[in-house]
Amino acid sequence: MQGKLVIKEAKFLTSAARAEQFLRPQKPMIAVCGKSNAGKSTLINLLAGRKSLAKTSAAPGRTRLVNYFDFGEFWLADLPGYGYAAVSKAEQAKWAKTLEAFFAKKEDVRHVFLLSDIRRDPSADDMQMVRFLVYHDLPFTVIATKCDKLSRMKAKERVRAVANAFGLGTDNVIATSGTTGEGKDALLARIAQICAPPAAPPAGDGEDGEDEEF
């Protein structure tokens, strides 16, 4: 097991609208994706311990750019939400292209957090996203957001239902709340696992475990 990950400071790096503007991460990077309004920006603020590092909005479809954040030991990339019907077809196609271009640089993405409102079953877009991630061999964890909206018992039940619907074990689903902070520790533990360097070779080779790309 890894030690607990402590986030000392989180800062906004930059926004990218097009593939040419995407950053090459210097640390393990976790992409945060999901439907519009799923709570992506709120999750980033929860981890940062700040209310407004990432802009949140009650109006869905607000994050239209890829926003990069430096969390010290890792980076997060807040991706534009998908599946928001009220935007034009042309705009939806643009988002799809941005997402595709982003994940095309696969070696830059260490892990993906796929966010989904705990109260809802995965949408067709969510399922398409999962198929995409599986096809491209991108490791991911489902984050069931807004768990404060349910009782503890109901939330547990929903974690099972969401895991089932995605075809995953419940270990791959973490329930969180930006309101109560629930799930933050579980999230930090998962991030520590994700950031941990790949297992060292069996015999002591004197290396101090620098991160390697995979």
Tell me the C-alpha distance between 100 and 105, whole Å.
9
Examine residue 176 and tell whether it contacts Mg ion (CB under 5 A).
no
Subset of 47-76 contacting Mg ion (CB under 5 A): 63
- Shortest CB 160 distance to ligand GTP, Å: 19
Interacting span for ligand GTP (CB under 6 A) from 5-13, 30-38, 93-101, 121-129: 30-38
Which of Mg ion, ligand GTP, none does 37 bind, CB closer than 5 to 8 A by kind? ligand GTP
Which DSSP string do the residues of 153-188 spell out, in sequence order? HHHHHHHHHHHHHHT--GGGEEE--TTT-TTHHHHH
- 5, 16, 33, 41: residue in contact with ligand GTP (rule CB under 6 A): 41
Torsion of CA 114, 7, 62, 174, to 10 degrees: 30
Q: How far is CA 3 from CA 7, 70, 195, in A?
A: 13, 20, 11
Number of chain residues interacting with ligand GTP (CB under 6 A): 23
Closest approach, Cβ 208 to ligand GTP, in A, equals 37
Which residues of the shown chain bind ligand GTP in the complex (CB under 6 A)?
34, 36-42, 56-58, 60-63, 81, 145-146, 148-149, 177-179
